[in-house]
Amino acid sequence: MQLPLEFIEKYTDLLGAEAPAFFESFHQEAISAFRSNPLKERQETFDQPIKGLPWSYYGKVSGKSPQHVSGLVYSQEPAAQMVGHIAAPQEGMKVLDLAAAPGGKSTHLLSFLGNAGILVSNEISNKRSKILVENIERFGARNVVVTNESADRLAKVFPSYFDMIVLDAPCSGEGMFRKDPAAIQYWSLDYPKQCAALQKEILVSAVEMLADGGQLIYSTCTWAPEENEEVVQWLLDNYDMELLDIPKINGMAEGIGLPQTARMYPHRFEGEGQFVAKLRYKGAPSSKRLKTGKSNLNREQQALWQEFARKHLNLQLDGLLQVFGDNLYLLPLGLPDLSKVKIARNGLHLGVFKKKRFEPSFALGLALWSEEVKTRVDISEADFINYVAGQTVSVSQELPNGWYQIAVNGNGLGFAKIVSGTLKNAFPKGLRF
């Protein structure tokens, strides 16, 4: 790997005696890892756990495996996993992941929230927000809204609202050079300063959305002090914030001049590059009384949904029912009015209304456990291969016709209809392989 000469000179000065080991690490293979999903009903045991992280493992997982397709596992390299681990929100919190795509940090935050509280997962890029929606849906969470907005527009809707905001900020990407060598071509000596200006701009809006005592987790995948410690110091100088200490585990290093922050170097930490700071905000006014959304189902839609729920579900889903077009969604309670926000996924997609009937969604079938449904059929891994390819599956002729939650290895894989011993294929066409 050919690193820019100015990059080498900069980090030779910055790291001193550690510089040779740091540069040597770029010639080694990038570290792969994944997390298991505690929101899924059937858990599995995996080898090579990452010390100190409850759901994390070294290794690779196949995107075509039942574990991945059902949302039991999520691929994420070890340094990136430290952001969610350090954030560790408590159940019931209102949390914002401000630059969330492709979804690694959001799904990690959801592991801590445990379907309690609210996660607003935001991505300004429309293209990347679609990938984020897919990953959130597969994870099976019920308390997420995915927005597609700029930070300043979100701040107008969520003033002093969030208990925690995670910003993994757009950055110069130095920590990804080993994993993605193409990122090197975008680097220049002035690039970190340009990124820092954008990071501060986003943070101004982020602070506006923090509730009194709210926590801000600021991270980058770069080592540039201009984007890391200098940005954190700017926050401390301009806002009523205190810096919280991050315990250093697994080879993490102290920040430069701010020992409470954490740095991950690949010659010390078994992973790629990352910087993380954790701050508490003490300057927010008390949260304003926000206008909340209301259910907009008509009488027929309400009756169709209630009929489906009575026949097929064993639980009362808590939340706000709203229809967008013909699609029915369940939003977490306690959200402000989102009518002026671009929405990529408005809560949990329950299904669609079609000509005097209701059809359940793929997302609902991913989110529910066996005890929560009245009609469920498990398919084998051999049948799974055919099902994800778009084929039908033969089941017992004794099973009554109708809707069933499909499961593989004990975890939901959507809903589908059984007709005369044949499981009709309802796996989304865009996901088939």
Annotated binding site: 99-105, 123, 168
Q: Please state, in angstroms and rounded to a whole number, the distance separating the CA atoms of residues 176 and 183.
A: 7
Q: Please state, in angstroms and rounded to a whole number, the distance separating the CA atoms of residues 213 and 375.
A: 45
What the chain holds in terms of domains, given with CATH numbers, is: 5-281 (3.40.50.150)
| pLDDT recorded at residue 1 | 81
| pLDDT recorded at residue 283 | 83
Phi/psi at 379 (nearest 5 deg)? Answer: -115, 155
Chunk the chain into consecutive blocks of 10 residues (it has 433) and report each block's average pLDDT, rounded to whole numbers: 95 98 96 98 97 97 97 98 98 98 98 96 96 97 97 97 98 96 94 98 98 97 98 98 98 98 98 98 72 88 97 94 96 93 96 96 98 97 98 96 98 98 97 96
The yes-or-no answer on residue 221 being catalytic is yes
Q: Please state, in angstroms and rounded to a whole number, the distance separating the CA atoms of residues 111 and 106.
A: 9
Q: Which two tokens stand for residue 207?
A: 């602070």
User: First CA to last CA across the chain, in angstroms?
Assistant: 34
Q: What is the DSSP letter of 32?
A: P
137 contact partners, CB below 8 Å, separation of at least 6: 345, 349, 362, 363, 366
297 contact partners, CB below 8 Å, separation of at least 6: 305, 321, 322, 323, 328
Residue 63's alpha-carbon distances to 67, 71, 194, 223, in angstroms, are 8, 10, 36, 30
Whether 144 contacts 106, CB under 8 Å? yes
Annotated binding site for S-adenosyl-L-methionine: 99-105, 123, 168
Place of tokens 């969470």: 141
Q: Please state, in angstroms and rounded to a whole number, the distance separating the CA atoms of residues 391 and 397.
A: 18
Q: What 3-state class would DSSP assign to 280?
A: strand
87, 206, 221, 231: which one is catalytic? Answer: 221
| pLDDT recorded at residue 286 | 60
Q: Please state, in angstroms and rounded to a whole number, the distance separating the CA atoms of residues 351 and 321.
A: 11
